[in-house]
């Protein structure tokens, strides 16, 4: 049976800014099981990176105020964690791959030195282990050619695609059971992107790790993910299996995102969602999507819709559900 790796309920994150407190994530649940790939999509600025950074303990303590009813990662309640606790968890239970590989790689250390450090910090290998052999095995698994040579190279000597594979290798070297990927392939060419995505899919199946995959590319999400969360203005507006999101979307924002995908039948014309995401400092009352929604009703601008559930844990927050008797 699959294990619950992340169980976060009613998460809210407020960031202190020069304009005052900004609520970036609002009343959000995040649940991830072993072997599952959870996709998170949503327009720029909707809070995806801030939300996953909180799961890694990466938000600055002085600036970010995190509240949650439950905040359990790998079975541990992490809400009151100090930096030493997070250091224990990061890399060994939960690891992250960023969009720009150079963010995670140290330019003055060789690839080998950086991977060995992760292996030494991990408790997964016991007392006796051969770090070089482990590193070589992981680099080979990541599909890097000449892995022996890579160990003695510096990050700047590798291409962007190679660096991203190294980052995934480093993330996996600590044998975490949760891997967060924040737009890991955006900067890569299509072929390398496809290879890395296949790798991630294999990892979820073979190693049973849970993966959170953030992307703007809905086609990739459709291929890779089991479940999808659609975020808008700091909140999940729809969450369902990948099949339900793509074949039976319920929330007008999700429908708009799907309509904005290039479609042959529209002869290349893109149907973008009109308008802009709201300023988080001045969220509309009621449903945040009201100013852009063509189905908006009077109640939408007044009251926040409740969560409605249909079928297989398909959840969405929209007043239209009430018209359907849900
Ligand atoms: N340190 C910070 N100080 C002030 N505002 C911040 C800070 N970090 C994030 N924000 C704000 O929080 C909101 C969410 O940002 P976040 O980076 O999570 O968006 P995102 O969904 O990951 O966007 P993208 O798709 O562009 O990566 C944005 O409005 C951003 O301006
Ligand atoms: S609650 Fe109203 S405004 Fe919001 S998405 Fe649904 S119909 Fe549109
Ligand atoms: Mg982001």
Q: Tell me, rounded to whole angstroms, the distance of Cα 310 from its chain centroid.
A: 24
Residues 6+ apart with CB under 8 A from 301: 284, 285, 286, 287, 290
Strand partners, 235: 232
Q: Which residues of 305-323 are buried (b: 16+ CB within 10 A; e: fewer)?
A: beebeeeeebbbbbbbbee
Distance CA 100, CA 97 (A): 9
Q: Is residue 187 part of a domain?
A: no
Per-residue pLDDT at 195 exceeds 90: no
Ligand number nearest CA of 43 is: 1
The residue to which tokens 């291929």 are assigned: 223
Are the CB atoms for 246 and 41 separated by under 8 Å? no
The pLDDT value given to residue 14: 97
3-state secondary structure the chain: CCCEEEEEEEEEEEEEECCEEEEEEEEEEEEEECCCEEEEECCCCCCHHHHHHHHCCCCCCCCEEEECCEEEECCEECCCCCHHHHHHHECCCEEEECCCHHHHCCCCCCHHHHHHHHHHHCCCCCCCCCHHHHHHHHHHHCCCCCHHHHHCCCHHHCCHHHHHHHHHHHHHHCCCCEEEEECCCCCCCHHHHHHHHHHHHHHHHHHCCEEEEECCCHHHHHHHCCEEEEEECCEEEEEEEHHHHHHCCCCHHHHHHHHCCCCHHHCCCCCCCCCCCCCHHHCCCCCCCHHHCCCCCHHHHCCCCCEEEECCCEEEECCHHHHCCC
Q: Is residue 178 part of a domain?
A: no
Q: Is residue 279 part of a domain?
A: yes
Domain count, the chain: 1
Q: Which two tokens stand for residue 283?
A: 């969220």
Instruction: List strands edge to edge, sheet with 314-317.
Output: 94-97, 178-182, 210-214, 37-41, 227-232, 235-241, 314-317, 307-310
pLDDT exceeding 70 applies to what percent of the chain? 97
Distance CA 138, CA 174 (A): 11
CA 257 – ligand 2 centroid, Å: 15
Per-residue pLDDT at 35 exceeds 80: yes
Q: What's the residue count for the chain?
A: 326
Q: What does the pLDDT average to over 149-175?
A: 93
Ligand number nearest CA of 323 is: 2
CA 8 – ligand 2 centroid, Å: 26
Angle at which helix 160-173 crosses helix 111-121, to 10 degrees, equals 20
pLDDT tens-digit readout, 37-74: 999 999 999 999 999 999 999 999 999 999 999 999 99
CA 286 – ligand 2 centroid, Å: 9
Q: Is residue 51 part of a domain?
A: no
Give the residues surrounding ligand 1 with Cβ less than 6 Å away. 15, 17, 22, 24, 42, 44-50, 280
The number of the ligand 2 atom at minimal distance from the alpha carbon of 251 is 5
CA 51 – ligand 2 centroid, Å: 23
The pLDDT value given to residue 265: 54
pLDDT tens-digit readout, 225-272: 999 999 999 999 999 999 999 999 999 999 999 988 776 555 556 678
Give the residues surrounding ligand 2 with Cβ less than 6 Å away. 251-252, 287, 289-290, 293, 295-297, 300, 305, 318-320
Residues 6+ apart with CB under 8 A from 264: none
Ligand 2 mutation target, pool 291, 301, 305, 326, most atoms within 8 A of CB: 305
Q: What does the pLDDT average to over 167-188?
A: 90
Q: Is residue 304 part of a domain?
A: yes
Q: Is residue 266 part of a domain?
A: yes
Per-residue pLDDT at 222 exceeds 60: yes
Instruction: Look over the chain and give the mean of its residue pLDDT values, rounded to a whole number.
Output: 91
pLDDT tens-digit readout, 255-268: 999 988 776 555 55
pLDDT tens-digit readout, 284-323: 899 999 999 999 999 999 999 999 999 889 999 999 998 8
CA 45 – ligand 1 centroid, Å: 5
The pLDDT value given to residue 184: 87
Other Cβ atoms less than 10 A from the Cβ of 127: the count is 4
The pLDDT value given to residue 230: 97
The pLDDT value given to residue 215: 92
The pLDDT value given to residue 1: 62
CA 287 – ligand 2 centroid, Å: 6
The number of the ligand 2 atom at minimal distance from the alpha carbon of 253 is 5
The number of the ligand 1 atom at minimal distance from the alpha carbon of 22 is 5
Q: Is residue 48 part of a domain?
A: no
Ligand number nearest CA of 324 is: 2
Are the CB atoms for 178 and 33 separated by under 8 Å? no
Nearest to 158 by CA among 97, 98, 110, 91: 110
293 is in which domain, residue-wise? Answer: 251-326
CA 253 – ligand 2 centroid, Å: 8
Q: Is residue 317 part of a domain?
A: yes
Ligand 2 mutation target, pool 297, 307, 308, most atoms within 8 A of CB: 297
């Amino acid at each position: 049976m699959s294990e619950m790796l992340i169980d976060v309920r009613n998460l809210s994150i407020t960031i202190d800014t020069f304009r005052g407190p900004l609520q970036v994530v609002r009343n959000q649940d995040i649940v991830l099981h072993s072997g599952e790939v959870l996709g998170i999509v949503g327009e720029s600025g909707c809070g995806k990176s801030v939300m996953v950074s909180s799961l890694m303990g990466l938000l600055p303590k002085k600036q970010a105020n995190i509240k949650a009813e439950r905040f359990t990662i790998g079975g541990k309640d992490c809400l009151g964690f100090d930096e030493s606790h997070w250091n224990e968890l990061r890399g060994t239970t939960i690891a992250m791959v960023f969009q720009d590989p150079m963010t995670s790689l140290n330019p003055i250390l060789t690839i080998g030195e950086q991977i060995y450090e992760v292996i030494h910090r991990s408790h997964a290998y016991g007392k006796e282990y051969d770090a070089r052999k482990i590193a070589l095995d992981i680099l080979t698994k990541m599909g890097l050619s000449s892995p022996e040579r890579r160990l003695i190279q510096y990050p700047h000597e590798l291409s962007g695609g190679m660096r991203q594979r190294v980052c995934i290798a480093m993330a996996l070297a600590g044998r975490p059971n949760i891997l967060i990927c924040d737009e890991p392939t955006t900067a890569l060419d299509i072929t390398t992107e496809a290879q890395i995505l296949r790798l991630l899919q294999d990892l979820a199946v073979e190693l049973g790790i849970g993966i959170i995959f953030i992307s703007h590319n809905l086609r990739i999400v459709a291929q890779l993910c089991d479940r999808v969360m659609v975020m808008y203005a700091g909140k999940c507006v729809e969450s369902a299996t990948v099949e339900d999101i793509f074949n039976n979307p319920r929330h007008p924002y999700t429908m708009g995102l799907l309509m904005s995908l290039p479609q042959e039948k529209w002869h290349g014309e893109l149907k973008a969602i009109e308008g802009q995401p709201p300023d988080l400092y001045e969220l509309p009352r009621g449903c945040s999507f009201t100013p852009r929604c063509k189905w908006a009703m009077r109640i939408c601008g007044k009251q926040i819709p409740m969560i409605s559930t249909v079928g297989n844990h398909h959840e969405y927050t929209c007043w239209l559900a009430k018209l359907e008797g849900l």
